[in-house]
């Protein structure tokens, strides 16, 4: 005889997953940014012309922290939907979008690839939209929890494009803060 878990057991399972996933996803996001040297202190980034819609630097840490928490809670919702059709496909696509998300900062901030990071974030847009749809099919709340993240990533896509338009010579260029060479004479 197969028993269905009680609502209390499902809530407990959700909180166990959430207590693991929230710090894990926050840590992954932090490490991606840290390893890549992301942020206003990056000499290459500091030298770029900023788009008019570029928010204050402090906004990014606050927003990304909140979005990583929402992502973790959405994933916990899906993981605790026993027997839900498409659950494992949704989890797999979520992991793909997370990998794309975590790869963006090193590509943009460390490799200085404005065009490559724009292509990557364009792919993230598509995979994330698919994730939202698949999560909503498993649990509507899980899909809804990802909507702010989708909105922010679409905004980040526009920002990335504007950085490329405003700084075409910076695409793929090494940081200008490391070495200065002077040539004297002919």
- Report the distance separating Cα 35 and Cα 138, nearest Å: 34
Q: Two tokens at 121?
A: 């974030």
Percent of the chain with pLDDT over 70: 91
Mean pLDDT of 109-126: 97
Mean pLDDT of 92-113: 97
Q: Is the pLDDT of residue 161 over 70?
A: yes
Q: Two tokens at 3?
A: 């028993």
The distance of Cα 147 from the centroid of its chain, to the nearest Å, equals 13
End-to-end Cα spacing for the chain: 89
The DSSP-derived string for 25-52 is: HHHHHHHHHHHHT-STT-HHHHTSPPPT
- Report the distance separating Cα 37 and Cα 24, nearest Å: 20
- Report the distance separating Cα 57 and Cα 105, nearest Å: 15
Query: Can you state the angle between helices 114-138 and 57-79, rounded to 10 degrees?
Result: 40
pTM (two decimals): 0.89
Mean pLDDT of 65-76: 98
Q: Is the pLDDT of residue 181 over 90?
A: no
The CATH number for 8-170, chosen from 3.30.70.20, 1.20.1260.100, 3.90.1310.10, 3.40.1360.10, is 1.20.1260.100
Q: Is the pLDDT of residue 86 over 80?
A: yes
């Amino acid at each position: 005889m197969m028993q269905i878990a009680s609502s209390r057991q499902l809530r407990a399972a959700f909180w166990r997953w959430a207590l693991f996933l929230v710090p894990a996803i926050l840590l992954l996001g932090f490490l991606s940014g840290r390893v890549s040297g992301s942020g206003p202190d990056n000499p290459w980034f500091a030298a770029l012309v900023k788009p008019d819609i570029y928010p204050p630097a402090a906004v990014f840490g606050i927003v990304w922290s909140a979005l990583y928490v929402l992502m973790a809670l959405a994933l916990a919702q899906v993981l605790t939907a026993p027997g839900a059709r498409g659950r494992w496909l949704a989890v797999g696509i979520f992991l793909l979008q997370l990998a794309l998300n975590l790869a963006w900062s090193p590509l943009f901030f460390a490799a200085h690839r404005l065009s490559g990071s724009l292509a990557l974030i364009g792919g993230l847009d598509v995979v994330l939209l698919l994730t939202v749809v698949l999560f909503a099919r498993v649990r509507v709340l899980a899909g809804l929890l990802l909507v702010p993240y989708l909105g922010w990533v679409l905004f980040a896509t526009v920002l990335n494009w504007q950085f490329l338009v405003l700084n075409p010579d910076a695409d793929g260029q090494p940081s200008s803060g490391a070495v200065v060479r002077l040539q004297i004479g002919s």
